[in-house]
Structure 1
Amino acid sequence: MSLPLLLRHTRASKNISQLDLSLRLGVSQRHVSFLETGRAAPSRDLLLAWMNEVEAPTSLRNAALSLGGFTTVASEEGASWIGMTDANEAALQRMVQLHNPLPGLVFDPDWKMLATNCAGQWLCTVVMPGYCEAVDHRFEGLDMIDCVAHDDGLLSHSRNAAQVGASLLAQLQTESWLRPSLRPRVDRLADSLHRRYGRLPEVPSLGLATPSLNLSFDTPLGVLNFSTFQSAFGIPQDINSSSLRIELWFAADAHTREVMSDADADAEACC
């Protein structure tokens, strides 16, 4: 993905004309046009001013800086268990296990699952049994983007699949600006969602997708409703787009809470 395309995307998403933006930035309209076509390269200060005028979130600011050859606020190298201290890895593993009997998981910036608790493994077998069979119930290293894109995956029994798919796609498209290696998988996800659900619901643009989702599933145990929340692991000054992610699921109603509590013994057997 190129910097000119990102610049054009951010300006157009805010419905700002080239002339209006040029006046705000104190440059000519011709220069704005040159920047959007790649005939000129912005300075770091101009790039940050552009991102400020279009009210771009931090993720897109860092993407623009990276594409422009400038340093971002923090290193954007990939994260994994490798290089993490034993104490931190143990803390993450303990965090998700303590979240039982509700699902908790850890995944890396490439959206590959590193760990999930017993409740998470059990729920996967309930809401996407076909996909679990396809991956032989191997959850470590599971491709979470493929899990959403697959016909038998996470959305296969979802009651609000189009909305959930649209929200996840918006988040992943934003992340792929800074992490271009995600783009082929994100494009396949987009194709899958459009094939299955047609025109997707509108979601916030410019990377403002929420880090939480409401999910509802039809299951043999009745309708199960969850709210999910994503966060990153680390002390504040070390958090960046390459930090490991934690996602915790919470029961959104009494029935779901009761089902997950009753299934705790079965969930233990999944681990």
Structure 2
Amino acid sequence: MGSELSAGLRLWRTRRRVSQLELAIRAGTTQRHVSFIESGRSAPGREMVIRLAESLQVPLRERNALLLAGGYAPAYDETPYDAPGLEAVRTALAAILEGHRPYPAVVVDRIGNLVLANHAFDVLTAGVAEHLLTAPVNLPRLLLDPAGLAPRIVNFAQWSWHVIDALTREAAQYPSPSSDALIQELIAVIPPRPAPDHLGFAVPLQLRSPDGDLHLVTTLTRFGTAIDVTVSELRMEAFLPADEPTARALRGLDRTMLQRV
């Protein structure tokens, strides 16, 4: 177990591009001690494993894995999203999403699977193939799959790589085989990467709609103080208007949907 813990800590330090000295300073120990831990010559205590993982911003799921590798019990609970213990979290998220109307907003997990969405999100999913709306609904796949939103995205060549780059950054922060597989799946169905203009790929999403083209920008929000694995892996993504015509169109589309309910 010790070698697995040593290798895991070394991997995360390398991934975060942190030197042994910098890690030692962050964790309140010595470079010599960090070196001994990484080489397997010293077995860190439970508190030291947590301090090192915290200093390296290791996700909670992987912190538990490091603790198990060191022979310690996990420190962070992993509560099912629909369990009574997360009722307050669910209520808060639902209120936040509702507050974003008439603008679409969703909550997804670490690989982009849909956990919660407001009614305005239906504006984006109109015309999407049924199999992409069957649980688990994956937001990146919904955006880029040919049977999803792809045909409606005016700037698809640029936007698709914006999504891929965001997924790649997310996978670096929260690595998993599922994330890597999703990235490869989506790269196979999008055009080759175009030459970036001076703004790169951080451009508004231009989406065709019955009320004309929508220009949308996205924001990402996380729980900053989560101590539960499930909560720590949730993120909220909101699609906000980049101009007044888009805001006006979204308000109109939202009113139309309410009349249909």
TM-score of Structure 1 vs Structure 2, range by shorter chain: 0.5 to 0.7
- CA offsets per residue over residues 198-219 of structure 1, 9 Å max, x none? 6799xxxxxxxxxxx8751242
Match of 1:10 in 2: 12
Q: RMSD of aligned C-alpha atoms?
A: 4.2
* TM-superposed deviation, 1:81: 2.4
Pick one of 247, 257, 260 that aligns with 1:267: 257
| 1:137 CA displacement | 4.6
Q: CA deviation at 1:250?
A: 2.2
Equivalent position amino acid for 1:261 in 2: R
Q: How does 1:79-118 map to 2 (within 5 A)?
A: 79-83=80-84, 89=90, 92-108=93-109, 111-118=112-119
Helix, strand or coil at the partner of 1:247: strand
Tell me the equivalent position of 2:229: 241
**Aligned AA for 2:59?**
S
Verify: 1:255 aligned to 2:245, yes or no.
yes
Is the 2:103–2:240 Cα contact (8 Å) retained in structure 1?
yes
Distance in 1 separating the partners of 2:164 and 2:254:
28
Aligned residue for 2:174, secondary structure, equals helix
Partner of 1:224: 215
Shift of 1:242: 1.1
In structure 1, C-alpha distance between the alignment counterparts of 2:5 and 2:148, rounded to whole Å: 34
Partner of 1:161: 160
Query: What is residue 131 of structure 2 aligned with on the other side?
Result: 135
Q: Which amino acid aligns with 1:101?
A: P
Whether the aligned pair in 2 keeps the contact of 1:147 and 1:154 (CA below 8 Å) is yes
Q: TM-score, normalised by structure 1?
A: 0.64
Question: Is the CA contact (8 Å cut-off) linking 1:74 and 1:238 kept in structure 2?
Answer: no
SS state of the match for residue 168, structure 1?
A: helix
Task: Specify whether residues 18 and 237 from structure 1 end up closer, same or farther in structure 2 by C-alpha distance, changes over 3 A only.
Answer: closer
Taking only the aligned residue pairs, the percentage that are identical comes to 19
Q: State the alpha-carbon separation in 1 of the partners of residues 123 and 107 from structure 2.
A: 16
Letter in 1 for 2:230: S
Residue 119 (str. 1) matches residue 120 (str. 2): yes
The offset of 1:117, in angstroms, is 1.9
Change (3 A) 1:11 1:249: same
Matched residue count: 236
CA separation in 1, counterparts of 2:114 and 2:161? 23
Question: Once the 2 structures are TM-superposed, how far is the Cα of residue 188 of structure 1 from its aligned partner?
Answer: 1.5
CA deviation after TM superposition for structure 1 residue 153, in Å: 4.1
**Contact kept? 1:118, 1:270, Cα under 8 Å:** no
Name the CA shift for 1:68/1:91 in 2 (closer, same or farther; >3 Å).
Answer: closer
**Which residue identity lines up with residue 217 of structure 2 in the other structure?**
F
C-alpha distance after superposition, 1:83-127 (max 9, x if no partner):
2577765554344234221112234566432332221111222xx
Q: Is 1:26 aligned with 2:16? A: no
**SS of corresponding position for 1:261:** helix
Q: Secondary structure of 2:170's partner? A: helix
Runs of 5+ unmatched residues, structure 2: 196-201
- The separation in 1 between residues aligned to 2:13 and 2:192, in whole angstroms, is 27
Point out where structure 1 has 5 or more consecutive residues left out of the alignment. Answer: 177-182, 202-212
When residues 262 and 145 of structure 1 are mapped into structure 2, their CA distance, relative to the original with a 3 A threshold, is closer
Q: Residues of 1 paired with 2:33 and 2:194: CA distance?
A: 38
d(CA) in 2 for partners of 1:14 and 1:85? Answer: 31
| Distance (whole Å) between structure 1 residues aligned to residue 39 and residue 143 of structure 2 | 38
- Provide the TM-score with structure 2 as the length reference: 0.66
Q: How far apart are the structure 1 equivalents of 2:43 and 2:260?
A: 54
